[in-house]
């Protein structure tokens, strides 16, 4: 009796995964692990060079293949591989390779993994820049966190990035969304069919060991890839405004700032006398998180959900963040720490949590409950597999019902194809 062939999956990554450097890469790894649990045959490809902290996918049984932009060698590669599912990691990869996938593997299910809605993040960044330029008040940013979805849409709708990103969502057979807020924005304001979107948050296995106790911890911690603009902005706000307010009340307090790819402008902020320590990359993010008493994440803009705050819950570390930091992360449930909109309120909450053991313990228990309620791999992993299998079984019907996506593929992919072929021919002549 012959065994059925394993489902073949090709992942086209914007970068090679670095799960210890970014939440986006961590989410990609969780998706890959979900596929592996099914016994699927996985190939990961990327046109990017390997980063400093690249995961060793080959050791996990995942094939690694380097690919090139604007090069027909990809056509031969994907034709030979003949994947059943192609997962684009970020919409730019769908723009670059979508037409090639459609041409050479028309029956492959095309899936976009968004990580976060980049056009939303960029629009919020622009709004923060305008706010900083217009007003020197560095404390209260409440108005940044209050816009309704309609206002978010109006700021995004005329941007090139939103048009490109939403078009890519339409062109795919399914889109993995990490944030329920972004799903509502896309459905209610941009008009995307809800059936094109699948909620797939970070997928976590429960902690295997008990958390460190209050008395076994010390100091504050902030962590995040310095190449991610929201993280760098948060570090600057802590340095100039938030951390001085905390140190006024806790003169011996220390803040340890960890992040991958630490630039000189970040190391220049290190000041031991102020208790502000820039620690570079953490070899084990969960270990340093477990040793901290409070996680600080004063994000003034961003999108998606925040891996650092999931890590804090995993480690039993209460967190203090903003509404944009907590967005789409806790639903109707309480936050495991505090959510505030001004530097003074964030500092008050951080100091209270740092000193009040009973409040701290309650926040830790809230984090445990939240992980179990919303982020279990045992729930979201099977739901993802079920959705992918359903989409494959009804692929032609889904495509027939998505005329807008078909129209966008026709127009963009033709222009992209001709541009790619022109670039390839130009490169061959030079």
What are the tens digits of pLDDT across the range 248-261?
Answer: 999 999 999 999 99
Whether residue 189 is found in the same domain as residue 297: no
Classify residue 391: in a domain, yes or no. yes
Whether residue 390 is found in the same domain as residue 362: no
Query: Cα-flanking dihedrals φ and ψ of residue 44, to 5°?
Result: -110, 130
SS3 state at 138: coil
pLDDT of residue 2: 40
Domain that residue 391 falls in: 8-119+150-203+378-429
pLDDT of residue 146: 87
Classify residue 3: in a domain, yes or no. no
Classify residue 36: in a domain, yes or no. yes
Relative to beta strand 197-199, strand 276-280 is unpaired
Relative to beta strand 63-66, strand 174-177 is unpaired
Classify residue 236: in a domain, yes or no. yes
What is the CATH number for 221? 3.40.50.2000
Classify residue 305: in a domain, yes or no. yes
pLDDT of residue 5: 79
Helix (H) or strand (E) holding 13: strand 8-13
Instruction: At 247, list the tokens.
Output: 């140190």
d(CA 106, CA 102): 5
Total tally of structural domains belonging to the chain: 2
Report the pLDDT averaged over residues 173-180: 98
Whether residue 369 is found in the same domain as residue 402: no
- With a cut of 70, say whether residue 420 has pLDDT above it: no
Angstrom CA distances, 35 to 62, 333, 385, stand at: 11, 30, 8
d(CA 306, CA 231): 11
Whether residue 345 is found in the same domain as residue 304: yes
Report the pLDDT averaged over residues 122-140: 90
Report the pLDDT averaged over residues 195-207: 95
Final residue belonging to a domain, choices 375, 390, 413: 375
More confident residue, 414 or 305: 305
pLDDT of residue 430: 65
Whether residue 236 is found in the same domain as residue 351: yes
Whether residue 227 is found in the same domain as residue 328: yes
Helix (H) or strand (E) holding 314: helix 307-314
pLDDT of residue 167: 96
Confidence of residue 3 (pLDDT cuts 50, 70, 90): very low
Report the pLDDT averaged over residues 271-283: 95
More confident residue, 135 or 187: 187
- With a cut of 60, say whether residue 353 has pLDDT above it: yes
* 326 neighbors 308 (Cβ within 8 angstroms): no
Within 10 A of 394 (CB to CB), how many other CB atoms are there?
A: 13
Whether residue 80 is found in the same domain as residue 179: yes
More confident residue, 154 or 422: 154
Q: Which residues contact 111 (CB under 8 A, 6 or more apart)?
A: 85, 86, 87, 88, 172, 173, 174, 175, 176, 388
Classify residue 143: in a domain, yes or no. no
Whether residue 91 is found in the same domain as residue 111: yes
Q: Which residues contact 336 (CB under 8 A, 6 or more apart)?
A: 312, 313, 318, 319, 363, 364, 366, 367, 370
Distance of CA 242 to the CA centre of its chain: 25
Whether residue 240 is found in the same domain as residue 340: yes
**Token pair 């803009």 is at which residue?**
301
DSSP secondary structure, 274-296, as one string: GTEEEEE--SSHHHHHHH-SEEE
Q: Which residues contact 52 (CB under 8 A, 6 or more apart)?
A: 18, 260, 261
Within 10 A of 136 (CB to CB), how many other CB atoms are there?
A: 6
**Token pair 């958390």 is at which residue?**
211
Whether residue 345 is found in the same domain as residue 248: yes
Q: Is 144 exposed, middle or buried (0-12, 13-18, 19+ CB in 10 A)?
A: middle
pLDDT of residue 1: 40
Whether residue 388 is found in the same domain as residue 297: no
Classify residue 265: in a domain, yes or no. yes
d(CA 425, CA 430): 9
Go through 251-265 and write b for each residue having 16 or more CB atoms within 10 A of its CB, e for each that does not.
eebbbbbbbbbbeee
Classify residue 209: in a domain, yes or no. no
Confidence of residue 280 (pLDDT cuts 50, 70, 90): confident
Helix (H) or strand (E) holding 184: helix 180-188
- With a cut of 90, say whether residue 207 has pLDDT above it: no
Helix 118-134 to helix 149-156 angle (10° resolution) is: 90
What percent of the chain clears pLDDT 70, i.e. is strictly above it?
A: 95
What percent of the chain clears pLDDT 90, i.e. is strictly above it?
A: 88
Query: Cα-flanking dihedrals φ and ψ of residue 193, to 5°?
Result: -60, 130
Helix (H) or strand (E) holding 24: helix 23-37
Whether residue 175 is found in the same domain as residue 30: yes
d(CA 179, CA 181): 5
Confidence of residue 7 (pLDDT cuts 50, 70, 90): very high
Query: Cα-flanking dihedrals φ and ψ of residue 86, to 5°?
Result: -120, 125
- With a cut of 90, say whether residue 138 has pLDDT above it: no
* 141 neighbors 131 (Cβ within 8 angstroms): yes
**Token pair 């399914």 is at which residue?**
174
């Amino acid at each position: 009796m012959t065994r059925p062939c394993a489902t073949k999956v090709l992942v086209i990554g914007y970068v090679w995964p670095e799960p210890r450097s970014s939440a986006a890469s961590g989410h990609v790894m969780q998706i890959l692990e979900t596929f592996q649990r099914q016994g699927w045959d996985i190939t990961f490809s990327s046109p990017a060079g390997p980063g400093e902290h690249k995961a060793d996918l080959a050791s996990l049984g995942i094939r690694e293949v380097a690919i090139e932009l604007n090069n027909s060698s990809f056509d031969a590669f994907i034709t030979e591989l003949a994947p059943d599912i192609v997962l684009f990691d970020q919409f730019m990869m769908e723009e670059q390779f979508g037409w090639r996938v459609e041409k050479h593997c028309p029956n492959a299910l095309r899936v976009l993994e968004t990580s976060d809605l980049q056009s939303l993040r960029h629009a919020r960044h622009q709004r923060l820049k305008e706010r900083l330029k217009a007003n020197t008040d560095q404390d209260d940013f409440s108005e940044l966190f209050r816009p309704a979805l309609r206002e978010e849409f109006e700021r995004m709708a005329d941007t090139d990035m939103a048009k490109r990103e939403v078009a890519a969502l339409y062109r795919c057979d399914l889109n993995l969304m990490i944030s329920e807020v972004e799903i509502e924005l896309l459905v209610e304001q941009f008009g995307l069919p809800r059936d094109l979107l699948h909620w797939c948050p970070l997928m976590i296995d429960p902690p295997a060991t008990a958390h460190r106790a209050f008395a076994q911890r010390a100091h504050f911690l902030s962590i995040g890839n310095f190449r991610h603009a929201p993280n760098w902005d948060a570090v600057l706000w802590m340095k100039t405004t938030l951390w001085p307010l905390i140190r006024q009340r806790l003169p011996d307090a220390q803040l340890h700032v960890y992040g991958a790819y630490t630039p000189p402008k970040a190391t220049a902020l290190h000041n031991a006398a102020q208790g502000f320590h820039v620690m570079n990359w953490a070899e084990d993010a969960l270990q340093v998180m477990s040793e901290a008493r409070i996680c600080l994440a004063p994000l003034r803009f961003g999108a998606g959900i925040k891996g650092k705050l999931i890590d804090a819950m995993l480690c039993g570390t209460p967190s203090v963040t903003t509404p944009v930091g907590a967005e789409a992360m806790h639903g109707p449930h309480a936050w495991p720490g505090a959510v505030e909109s001004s530097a003074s309120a964030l500092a008050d909450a951080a100091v209270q949590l740092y000193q009040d053991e009973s409040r701290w313990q309650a926040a830790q228990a809230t984090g445990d409950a939240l992980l179990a309620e919303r982020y279990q791999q045992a729930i979201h992993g099977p739901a993802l597999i079920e959705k992918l299998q359903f989409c494959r079984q009804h692929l032609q019907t889904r495509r027939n019902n998505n005329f807008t996506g078909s129209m966008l593929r026709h127009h963009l992919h033709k222009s992209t194809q001709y541009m790619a072929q022109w670039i390839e021919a130009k490169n061959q002549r030079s």
